[in-house]
A and B are shown apart, each in its own frame.
Chain A
Amino acid sequence: MKWFNILRDRLRALRQREAVIHDIDREMRLHLELQVEANINSGMSPEAAREKAMRSFGNVNRAVDAAYDVKGGGLFETLVQDSRYGVRMLAKHKAFTSVAIVTLALGIGANTAIFSVVNELLLSPLPYRSAEQIAMLWEVTPEGRHQNITSRANFRAWKAQNTSFQGIAAFTDQRFNMTGTGEPEELSVQLATPEIFSVLGVDPLLGRTFLPEDGEPANMDVAVLSYPLWQRRFGGQSNIVGQQLTLNGIKFTVIGVMPPSFQFHIKSRSGTGRPAELWSILPMPVGPGANDRGRFLSVVGRLKDGVPAEQAAAELRTIEARLSEETPEYNKNYSAEVLPLRDQFFGNVRRPLWLMLGAVGFVLLIACANVANLLLSLATSREKEIAVRAALGARRFRIVRQLLTESLLLALLGSALGLGFAYLGIKALVLISPRDLVSLQGVGLNLTVLAWTLGVSLLTGIVFGLAPAVHVSRLNLNDSLKDGGKSESAQASGSRRLRNALVVSEIALAVVLLASAGLLIRSFIRLQQVDRGFETDNLLTMVVRIPDSRYREDAQFVNFFSQALERTRHLPTVRSAGMVNFLPLYGGLGSATGFKIVGRPEPPPGQGPSTDVRVADAGYFKTMGIPLLRGRNFSDSEQREPKHVILINEALARKHFPDEDPIGRRLDVEMFDTPQPAEIIGVVGNVRYDSLIDESPPAVYFPHPDLTYAFMTLVIRTDGEPTAIAPAVQREIRALDPNQPVSDVRTMNQVMADWVSRSRFNTLLLGLFAGLATLLSAVGIFGVMNYSVALRTREIGLRLAVGAQPRQVLLLVLRQGLVLTVAGIVLGLAAAFALTRLLSGLLFGVGAVDVTTFTAISLLLVVVSLLACYLPARRAMRIDPLSALRYE
């Protein structure tokens, strides 16, 4: 009630100020008249009556003012007044206003864009019910490899023995060929135990999700579609539930469709590397013949209410230790971990994101310093105006408030434009963001982001407005009124110190950003220069997966692929072709497998050596340019039927055969149900399969007949553009089997680019921010020097008049700029030494404190600031002594 009344009165006063004052006036006048009449009635003369009435009423003007303060006025009206005045002031100083607004908009825009990503990835809830209860369950291998997949047997044990989870579900992503309706197509299918949807807490859009009885062997042929697949392949038909589709030659019944927002994809451990388009039941056979011990499952669980992830992890480790004791042949020295879902998804982007937010915070600080500087210069030239207001009785608080209103106005205008920049910035971010990072599709300007922007802009308005405002309010009236701020007065020298301090801090901040960006750029270059062990140019790759249902015998698989390669080799422009199961730098499951060296004493269980296992043909090494260092490549007959031969890489040879020739030795790799030693026939060069950063681990290569895979990645080296040959290869494969799709058609350069994309993304962004910071500080130093030259016009004119050479004047100004720059660089380097270690996880081949980088960026800043000083310096040099002296 009260607030409403006040607001109503204030609004009325705003619109009808005159009427409000008139009412007050009328009321008080009547009061006085009645009093005068009463006094006359009691026998006074009219003059005495009037005088007495006035005296007892008190100061009429003050009473009207006080009354008006209640009725209208107050903070509300002064705010409107101040804003109006501020708008007029900003409109008057157009150049100042536009520079300030653009500067702020850049700072605020960059902040908003990065914050919107932080908000989406790190702050917004994940799209699952009570997502904070969902966590991944992984094993940790004896070698310390984290997030390792587990086996059916271990999953069963976890499920039966844990007390921390409401439920856990196992899943694995696999490629399935869908045939029947339209073109054959390879789908990414997530096979899961029936609990998965209840663990994730999502409901279907249509139909139902899995029920416990779907896990029975007789009921497993059910399928839940993703929304995109439903739209793409089934035209979004509403009667899809109950229809049948064919996967790998087996019929499945559609039981439901998931909503568009649903996705559950653990990229780093996915066998397909892409989000699932369809869900079906993961068979969990028991008994002899069932692959109970092979590790291929990811596990997700929902914690019970109030059970923290750490407690669940401790329990899981206990269960795993028990497994390790009971079945050492499979689980010796294995441990387990529980990873909250948000950490799983975004754990590896959290640090870079906070760093980026810090970086844009620095950019914003620089922008603030710049605008504060501009405001200070402006305020100095407004000294006279402000002095007049003060002389007319404006209180200091009132003047500070006026100036703060102006800076808030600037900040708001800047953030309005900044939102525009942010909008474009977010679009650009989504475009350049690495595909394997995380989906940035949901990132945008939502309410949280807008609130953040508003908060940031109000804060910046106060930050950059306060210093000038307080400074101006301390003006010495006499001095200002006397010379109108045209020459360097006592306060002006105080403001000069403040301006210099601001520029020095700007440069220091820019140094920190440049140093960080420089380190990332050097890491990125190092990463590109890593010897990856193969040649990437003119190389086309594609994945072919043949369904188990059509080819039962190993020989058929071997046949299919060797025919496909043979046909490919005869295509024009194809120089060579080969195949491997998992491409380098392409994710995949690549888990280490134990092996024994035949003829050496057997190590205790769980402590034997392990190796990467790949399947390849002779053409693979030739096509990839992987050198054969010793021995020979696979022969034709070895590629037709199992001869128990292998190639090993240099790392394995070095580690296990340091002083002897490995050729002819035999390894028993634990890939088979029965021991199957294979003879080493050659040593090939190392290839960086998992990462460019880590050294290549030991690896063995089986020819296809020895270790048959249903899917292979073809690699094809061509003369000229490799993608041109793709349709022809697909035709040849279609000719072998009309129902056979290929997928993931990419050049090796694309695969590489994807792998370094995260590093490129970080480097690009930080480089951009550092560039922005440098630009803004250059503008800052330019502004300060320009203003300083303007203030010193008379002094410089005098110097020139008494015989100083223009060159000396030039040096005078440049020296002044250089002193500021060097001070900033020294300060910034000190900060960089302390701060760049935050980058350590993102660097490669370069330390967090790198003399070369730091020297280079210091020189860069010196050059930039000299350039920025050059224009004002040239202006100073060309001052005409006569007119400068007359200027006063």
Chain B
Amino acid sequence: MAKNKADLLQGTLDMLILKSLSLGELHGYGVIQRLRQLSDEMLNVEQGSLYPALYRIEQKGWVSARWDVHDTGREAKFYKLTRAGRKQLETEEASWDRLVLAIAKVRQAT
């Protein structure tokens, strides 16, 4: 694994998925692509673990899913952020900001 890539912290995958979906409806592969673009290829998400996470988020009611025809002509499952999901994303981003700020303060102190 390349040194210049960052492993995901436990629990952050949900937030990243929500974030990537906040820009529009996507299928699973699309979520991975968008994360890669947004992070300038720096984030290392194990693609297989995306789906359990997506299903869990769906069960929590943060995203809704539907099967539709993909632009390649094949059927794909598309995920879309719900209102509850948008709210959740805000909460998670806020608490993430607080965490980053706190860690930064601690690090500056040393």
Q: Write the residues of chain A forming the contact surface with B, with a CB cutoff of 8 angstroms.
A: 1-2, 5-6, 9, 23-24, 26-28, 30-31, 33-35, 37, 56-60, 62-63, 66-67, 69-71
Contact = CB atoms under 8 A, between A and B. Distances in A.
A51 to B, nearest CB: 14
A56 B47 contact: yes
B74 interface: yes
Contacts of A63: 48-49, 51-52
Given A27-B77, A30-B29, A34-B29, A70 B72 contact: no
Interface in B68-106: 70, 72, 74-77
Contact of B74 (A2, A28, A30): A30
26 contacts: A2-B59, A5-B58, A5-B59, A5-B60, A5-B61, A6-B59, A9-B55, A23-B77, A26-B75, A27-B27, A27-B51, A27-B76, A30-B28, A30-B29, A30-B70, A31-B27, A35-B29, A58-B48, A59-B48, A63-B48, A63-B49, A63-B52, A66-B51, A67-B52, A70-B59, A71-B55
Given A30-B70, A35-B47, A67-B52, 7 more contacts: A30-B27, A30-B75, A30-B76, A34-B29, A58-B47, A60-B48, A70-B52
A69 B55 CA distance: 10
Contact of B46 (A6, A27, A35, A58): A58
Contact of B47 (A1, A31, A37): A31
A35 to B, nearest CB: 7
A57 B60 contact: no
Interface of B: 27-29, 32, 46-49, 51-52, 55-56, 58-61, 70, 72, 74-77
B52 A31 contact: no
Contacts of B55: 9, 67, 70-71
Contacts of B29: 30-31, 34-35
Main secondary structure of the interface of B (DSSP, over half): helix
Contacts of A33: 74
Which of B29, B46, B70, B77 has the most A CB atoms < 10 Å from its CB?
Answer: B29
B31 to A, nearest CB: 10
Nearest to A59: B48
Contact of A57 (B27, B48, B61, B77): B48
B61 A2 contact: yes
A60 B49 CA distance: 10
A28 B59 contact: no
Contacts of A34: 29, 72
Contacts of B72: 34, 37
A66 B75 contact: no
A-B CB proximity, top 9 nearest: A63-B48, A58-B48, A70-B55, A66-B52, A5-B59, A67-B51, A57-B47, A31-B29, A34-B29
A9 to B, nearest CB: 6
A31 B56 CA distance: 18
B11 to A, nearest CB: 16
Nearest to A33: B74
Nearest to B46: A58
Nearest to B61: A1
Contacts of B49: 58, 63, 66
Question: Residue among B27, B49, B61 with the most chain A CB within 10 A?
Answer: B49
A31 B52 CA distance: 14
B77 A69 contact: no
Contacts of B46: 57-58
Nearest to B47: A57
Given A27-B77, A30-B29, A9 B47 contact: no
A28 B51 contact: yes
A652 B4 CA distance: 111
A27 B74 CA distance: 11
Given A30-B27, A30-B29, A30-B76, A70 B56 contact: yes
Contact of B28 (A5, A31, A60, A71): A31
A133 to B, nearest CB: 50
A75 to B, nearest CB: 15
B3 to A, nearest CB: 17
A507 to B, nearest CB: 54
B104 to A, nearest CB: 32
A235 B10 CA distance: 79
Contacts of B74: 30, 33
Given A27-B77, A30-B74, A62 B60 contact: no
A231 to B, nearest CB: 60
Given A5-B60, A27-B28, A27-B77, A69 B47 contact: no
A362 B61 CA distance: 51
Nearest to B48: A63
A35 B32 CA distance: 10
Nearest to B62: A2
A496 B55 CA distance: 49
B37 to A, nearest CB: 13
B59 to A, nearest CB: 4
Given A5-B58, A31-B29, A34-B72, A24 B48 contact: no
A1 B59 CA distance: 8
Contacts of B48: 28, 57-60, 62-63, 66
B102 to A, nearest CB: 29
B76 A24 contact: no
Nearest to A30: B76
B59 A9 contact: yes
Nearest to B57: A70
B24 to A, nearest CB: 17
B70 A24 contact: no
Nearest to A23: B77
A30 B73 CA distance: 11
Contacts of A70: 52, 55-56, 59
Contacts of B76: 27, 30
A9 B60 CA distance: 12
Contacts of A24: 51
Nearest to B76: A30
A2 B51 contact: no
Nearest to A61: B48
A6 B60 CA distance: 8
Nearest to A29: B74
Contacts of A26: 75
Contacts of A71: 55
B43 to A, nearest CB: 12
Contacts of B47: 31, 35, 56-58
Contacts of B70: 30
A549 B98 CA distance: 96
Question: By CB atoms of chain A within 10 A, which of B32, B47, B56 has the most?
Answer: B47
A582 to B, nearest CB: 77
Contacts of B61: 1-2, 5
A432 B70 CA distance: 78
Nearest to A66: B52
A67 B56 CA distance: 9
B54 to A, nearest CB: 8
A34 B28 CA distance: 10
B52 to A, nearest CB: 4
A2 B59 CA distance: 6
Contact of A69 (B27, B32, B52): B52
Nearest to A65: B52
Nearest to B74: A30
A541 to B, nearest CB: 78
Nearest to A60: B48
A54 to B, nearest CB: 10
A26 B28 CA distance: 11
A400 to B, nearest CB: 26
A60 B32 CA distance: 16
A652 B78 CA distance: 103
Nearest to A62: B48
B57 to A, nearest CB: 10
A308 B61 CA distance: 54
B41 to A, nearest CB: 12
B87 to A, nearest CB: 13
Contacts of B59: 2, 5-6, 9, 70
Nearest to B44: A56
A58 B45 CA distance: 10
